[in-house]
Structure 1
Amino acid sequence: MARRKLSHEGTLVLDSEGLSKLLSDDESTVALVAEARKRGMETVICALTVIEAVHARTDKARLGRVLSGLRVVAVGEDEAKAATELLMEGGLHGHKYAIDAAVAVTALRQHRPVVILTSDVDDMTKLCGEQVRIVAV
């Protein structure tokens, strides 16, 4: 299996699919997160990502262990306003893309270079432009 390379230092951001795959010990995602940490990248998630990724069968103990190794970024009024601007600039509606926009704001405010692990490549590209590197999971 070919390994995808990440940048030295900077920040790795997980969206809900990235977090879900990390929770389920997906080999590729675990390897990407391990590589990022080895390279000195901080791994972060938007607080709303936790809500989006959790379901009735989520192992709470596993979730706690995984979250303890990540920096969870809060979403307040300032972040909400910035996410609204991204939605408007991208021509997207908050009903469908609210959490993606909050994740994008989280990513855009991190130490560069920033990489997002996401299943929503098109949406994240619309929201982040070329300011972050998008990696499909």
Structure 2
Amino acid sequence: MDRTRSRLSAGTLVLDCEGLVKWCGADQRVTALVRETQDNDFRVVASALTPIEAQDIRTKPDRLRWYLSRLRIEPVTEEISLAAADLLRVHRLHGHQYAIDAVVASTALRAPKPVVLLTSDEGAMTTLCGKSIKVVAV
């Protein structure tokens, strides 16, 4: 792909649980998106909580570890944690159902722009991230 014609330029691709699981499962669309972003000098990241959420029977542990070695794991710092709590409060969301989404959203909001977030929960992530993050359903 010609770098000057790409829709993407240096920034960050954030994978939520489903984005990571589909990448590990060699989903063609997700793999193409990850490859395009890497070709365009995007950082590919996931929150430190994402691999925990992604560990299930669909993903073999060795395969997950191999894919995780190809991206940056962003720590859940005190700043990220407090920002996630603020997002939940502002949007009147609560509970474990939204907790990890809020951490992933906070991670995305602090990443170098532009940011693309691959997620299966487009509605919640669009609400949490606002218009500053491009949310892509996978």
Q: Which ranges of structure 2 fall in alignment gaps of 5 or more residues?
A: 1-5
Cα deviations across residues 18-71 of structure 1 (Å, max 9, x unaligned)? 001011111110010000001110100001011111114531221111001100
SS at match of 2:93: coil
Q: Which amino acid aligns with 1:132?
A: I
Find the residue that maps to 1:99 and give its secondary structure: helix
Q: TM-score, normalised by structure 1?
A: 0.92
Q: Structure 1 residue 6: deviation in Å?
A: 4.7
Partner of 2:123: 122
The aligned residue for residue 76 of structure 1 is 77
Counterparts of 1:103 and 1:56, CA distance in 2: 22
Gaps of 5+ in 1: none
Matches within 5 A, 1:87-126: 87-126=88-127
1:78 deviation in Å?
Answer: 2.1
- Report the identity percentage: 50
| Deviating 4+ runs (over 6 angstroms) | none
Distance in structure 1 (CA, Å) of the matches to 2:107 and 2:70: 17
TM-score of the superposed pair, with normalisation by structure 2:
0.92
The answer to whether the Cα contact below 8 Å between 2:14 and 2:115 also exists between their aligned partners in 1 is: yes
Residue aligned with 1:134, SS: strand
Aligned length: 133
Per the alignment, residue 18 of structure 1 pairs with 19
- Structure 2 distance, partners of 1:86, 1:19, is 23
Contact in 1 for aligned 2:108/2:117 (Cα 8 Å): yes
Provide the aligned C-alpha RMSD in A. 1.2
